[in-house]
Copies of this chain bind each other. A is one copy, B any other.
């Protein structure tokens, strides 16, 4: 059977059983983009302006809703309107990392009510399977998808040894809800040698740390190009932040769109080479 990353996004969308993953793959195909923009800014106005500017070029907007200083519920309404208008999904990069009971509350409740608006969120595997159970109790009825962090791109990350295998095992145990990984390469080979029940599995791989112009920042983040990430390593979605919208307070819609188009093209060209499309 052809491994997922050598199939087209359209082929994979047809077969995927999780509603959020299916919608994401359909959107990628329809808009011809595997670009996700990570909108890590602290002002609501700049947050919305960036999303409105990059919206046409992305499949997925990645948020850190908890860094926005002037958050209120109208921001979520506006974000959802932009999601509909520009046809993208929303991925709250919450990195849940607690035990099952706690993450269920953090996901459903509080000021942010993440489950009510984020199609996709993510979690660390470190607490063990209870974190997936807790989040699934909220997310599955809402047709949400969960991404597990199998690796991190920061220097000295502890996602080493059996950590990655254990994360993959946790994902396999809940394929109705876990739709993929934050990682640097495909996960199909991990812990699957002796298994026969993994032939039809399709985990999306979302790759952070993507940049065309820079190799890293002062706090340990490291960057790779879209070609390295998509073509060489088989990742499905490239996540780009400041490389597209620049420094805080310097927002300019035109230059942001130039960069978004540039990354969209780089990501899509790499994907076409990967699946041997002209």
Contact = CB atoms under 8 A, between A and B. Distances in A.
Nearest to A160: B162
A125 interface: yes
Interface string A195-225: 0000000000000000000000101110000
A152 B109 CA distance: 23
A256 interface: no
What size tier do the contact residues of chain A reach? 35 or more
A97 interface: yes
Given A99-B221, A158-B166, A158-B167, A66 B110 contact: yes
Interface in A130-145: 130-131, 133-134
A67 interface: yes
A98 to B, nearest CB: 5
Given A105-B42, A110-B67, A128 B155 contact: yes
Nearest to A152: B127
Interface in A151-180: 152-163, 166-167, 170
Given A71-B111, A126-B152, A129-B156, A106 B66 contact: yes
Interface centre among A68, A130, A167, A217 (most CB of B within 10 A): A130
Given A42-B109, A67-B110, A161-B162, A130 B99 contact: no
Number of copies of this chain that the complex holds: 2
A156 B128 contact: yes
B102 A64 contact: yes
Nearest to A112: B66
A105 B38 CA distance: 14
A152 B219 contact: no
Contacts of A156: 128-130, 166, 170
B221 A101 contact: yes
A69 interface: yes
Nearest to A169: B156
Interface of A: 40, 42, 64, 66-69, 71, 93, 95, 97-102, 104-106, 109-112, 124-131, 133-134, 149, 152-163, 166-167, 170, 217, 219-221
25 contacts: A64-B106, A66-B112, A68-B111, A69-B111, A71-B110, A95-B97, A97-B126, A99-B153, A99-B221, A100-B219, A100-B221, A101-B217, A124-B124, A124-B126, A126-B126, A126-B152, A126-B158, A127-B154, A127-B158, A128-B157, A130-B219, A134-B219, A156-B166, A156-B170, A158-B162
Given A100-B154, A130-B156, A158-B162, 16 more contacts: A64-B105, A64-B106, A66-B110, A67-B106, A68-B109, A100-B219, A126-B159, A127-B157, A128-B155, A129-B155, A129-B156, A129-B220, A133-B219, A134-B219, A158-B167, A160-B162
